[in-house]
Amino acid sequence: MEHQSHIDPTRQTVGAIYRDAQINGEKGIVIGDVNHEIKKDLVKDINEAIEQGEKEMNGKPFYLAIYEKYDLMLKRGLVRIRKITKYRPYPEQDSMVFHVYPGGTVYFCWELPHRSQMMNVLMNPDIFDPEYVLTLKRWENIQLEYFGFKKDDEGNWVENELYRGDYLLGSPQADRKPKILLS
């Protein structure tokens, strides 16, 4: 059970399959590109995490952060980590964040790619959505007020309870311009 997938207990983890192939000296075994399988299950994983969060948070709002990174030990191996938090998470590379309210109302907060992808976007701004480029520039410049934070009296970044820049999933993207209310 130790090497079974926590998402689908009927399957072994990719690491377990790879390890067994190495130990047994099997030739000709190709551990395929699991990215396609992982990527197509993103919506399923988000929905499952929302259901889990609604149970864990007892009907209170929460944040769902999805972290995706490439596993350095496996060629083309992508790891997805789901975290449910009471407080707004700090914006990090490889993260996608949602704010979930009771009853299934979900707001999209942000999505930040890996640092190397950010650099590609910032060096080629003309071929990417200008709003996306601006988001990455704001992250680069530590302008966290655009991610729902404010500075407290001591100069520390804290969650801005008045922030209204997240946009409701299913709403027109034209309405997603950040709206910042300073306290």
Domain map (residue ranges) of the chain: 1-31, 34-176
The average pLDDT across 3-10 equals 72
Residue 177 above 60 pLDDT?
A: no
> Tens digit of pLDDT for each residue in 40-96?
678 888 889 999 999 999 989 999 999 988 766 666 667 788 999 999 999 999 999
pTM: 0.72
Round the average pLDDT of the chain to a whole number and report it. 82
Secondary structure of the chain as H, E, C letters = CCCECCCCCCCECHHHHHHHHHHCCCCCCCCCCCHHHHHHCHHHHHHHHHHHHHHHCCCCCEEEEEEEEEECCCCCEEEEEEEEECCCCCCCCCEEEEEEECCCEEEEEEEECCHHHHHHHHHCHHHCCHHHHHHHHHHHCCCHHHHCEEECCCCCEEECCCCCCCEECCCCHHHHCCCCCCC
Instruction: Kindly indicate the confidence band of residue 11, based on its pLDDT and cuts at 50, 70 and 90.
Output: confident
Instruction: Kindly indicate the confidence band of residue 1, based on its pLDDT and cuts at 50, 70 and 90.
Output: low
Give the model's pLDDT for residue 133.
94
Angle at which helices 115-123 and 130-140 cross, to 10°: 120
